[in-house]
Structure 1
Amino acid sequence: MKKFLIALLFAPIMAFASGSTAHIDKWPGSVKDKPALQNGAKLFVNYCMNCHGASYMRYKNLLDLGLTEQQVKENLMFTSDKIGELMRIAARSDEQKLWFGAAPPDLTIIARARGDAGNAGGGADWLYTYLRSFYRDENRPTGWNNTVFENVGMPHILYGLQGQQVMNHETHKLELAVPGSMPPAEFDKSVSDLVGFMVWMGEPQQEYRRTLGWFVLAFLAVLFVVAYALKKEYWKDIH
């Protein structure tokens, strides 16, 4: 029963992260790049938070990206008045289910959830490829499809930046039919920044954890040398 409840809890996230046999590109970003994470936060708030929330993250956590409280309030807070509040959206899940057929999943830990999904590519790689793989498909209710997530219900929210891609049925590759406001290289960089922010949200302290881990290993190495020397000193008369 417990396993069933856990599976039910994460069902919307796992549905968003459903597997595919499509090629998965390597995410080129890094959670160490603070300016990129700041740009990713801006893209997330302006595009993703129309439907998706990040309800396990507080706006005040964005200060860890090098932003000031004033910058967060003026540029990133559109659904809340207090910086200590959670990054929720106004629409309720039952309303979204009625409108879209299924409630869009919360994205706070989507990168980590996709990384644990057991399909090809890590969470960041999958998201980076997915967000760049939408194409026009008039057979779909939204007019969009995706090579990574076939028959996806989500429309292409970034099409104004990327433009409109179409599927070449002879080569089975995507081609840019209508350019967007960004050149392809600039759009890929923006998607990389957006993915980086979602990776960071899944574990904001991951860089600190890794740094602390190296210090712990170094301490244990020194402790081992001291302990071994002490052992030799205690047992020298016995041996």
Structure 2
Amino acid sequence: MKKTLASLLAIASLTIAGQSFANSEGIHLDKAPIDPKNAESIQRGAQTFVNYCLSCHGAAVMRYNRLQDIGLTEAQIKANLMFTTEKVGDQMKVAMAAKDGKAWFGATPPDLSLIARSRGTDWLYSYLRSFYRDDTRPTGWNNLVFDKVGMPHVLWELQGEQVLEIKGEGPHAEKTLKLVKPGLLTRGGENGQFDNHEFDQRVGDLVNYLSYMAEPAQVKREQIGYGVLLFLILFLIPITYLLKKEYWRDVH
């Protein structure tokens, strides 16, 4: 019992320390536009996932036929989303061999099945939009949210190229990203500014899918939960009234 309590306290202290470290870095995380009931957004995110992520990252706990829960037919899944297997009941396995990933990036790219629960959707949304050019890195890319990241910017054709701008010196220096070369989903605007709305929406859809993949039964679970609560309320009200009448029958 003492060992268990000590372990829990150690885990709690490490969690608090990790949160304090993250806060000390001063990283701003944008709010991810997550909507588990938006099936169209999740469908678009699934398409982005298989086109840009599945070549390096797997999703071992997710099967292709589970995408029928978000409104896709088996024919649509086979025609648009299956590139690494022929069976719709197979898992979303990575196309790249693990040893190749370790050789190219220094570490095997992680499985993304539960990444939305481990990292958080706000972190993922901010991370995927915060890559910038850095010639000192092996891939030519770095990330404002994840410094010295080993992953290249796989969405650079859609976003374009950003550069890091630093104002001030020392720990209080302000770091911002500036888009200097537009991509397919970033358009030019007034005064040399670029419109990132379309790219941000694409990333939001991808993160929405990653969130769905981490807990596919979330919407159904919530519906069942509300139904159970409604049943208990309707069941307990008459029982409570009858008990009250029974207890106070002799008094009245």
TM-score by length of 1: 0.85
Q: CA deviation at 1:92?
A: 3.2
Distance 1:186 1:29 in 2: 16
Give the aligned partner of residue 14 of structure 2: none
Q: CA deviation at 1:221?
A: 1.4
AA aligned opposite 2:82: M
**2:177 matches 1:174:** yes
AA aligned opposite 1:237: R
CA contact (8 A) 2:33 2:208 kept: no
**2:34 matches 1:29:** yes
CA contact (8 A) 1:21 1:148 kept: no
Give the aligned partner of residue 15 of structure 1: none
Give the aligned partner of residue 74 of structure 2: 69
Q: Please give the secondary structure, in 2, of the residue aligned with 1:50.
A: coil
Distance 2:175 2:108 in 1: 31
Q: Counterparts of 1:4-83 in structure 2 under 5 Å?
A: 19=22, 21-83=26-88
Higher relative contact order (CA 8 A, sep 6+): 1
Deviations 1:179-213 (A, max 9, x none): 00112110000000000000000000101111111
Structure with greater Cα Rg: 2
Give the aligned partner of residue 16 of structure 2: none
AA aligned opposite 1:63: Q
CA contact (8 A) 1:43 1:194 kept: yes
Distance 1:229 1:205 in 2: 36
Deviations 1:153-196 (A, max 9, x none): 00100000000000122362110111001121100000000000
Give the aligned partner of residue 10 of structure 1: none
AA aligned opposite 2:138: P
Distance 1:202 1:232 in 2: 46
CA contact (8 A) 2:132 2:177 kept: yes
**2:242 matches 1:230:** yes
**2:172 matches 1:187:** no
Distance 1:154 1:21 in 2: 22
Q: Please give the secondary structure, in 2, of the residue aligned with 1:89.
A: coil
Q: Which runs of 5+ in 1 are unaligned?
A: 5-17, 115-122
Distance 1:229 1:68 in 2: 50
CA contact (8 A) 1:40 1:197 kept: yes
Give the aligned partner of residue 149 of structure 1: 146
Distance 1:108 1:216 in 2: 29
Q: CA deviation at 1:238?
A: 4.3
Distance 1:90 1:132 in 2: 24
Q: Which runs of 5+ in 2 are unaligned?
A: 1-6, 8-20, 168-173, 187-195
**2:195 matches 1:212:** no
TM-score by length of 2: 0.81
Deviations 1:1-42 (A, max 9, x none): xxx9xxxxxxxxxxxxx9553100001231211111111000
Q: Please give the secondary structure, in 2, of the residue aligned with 1:223.
A: helix
- Percent identity over the alignment is 49
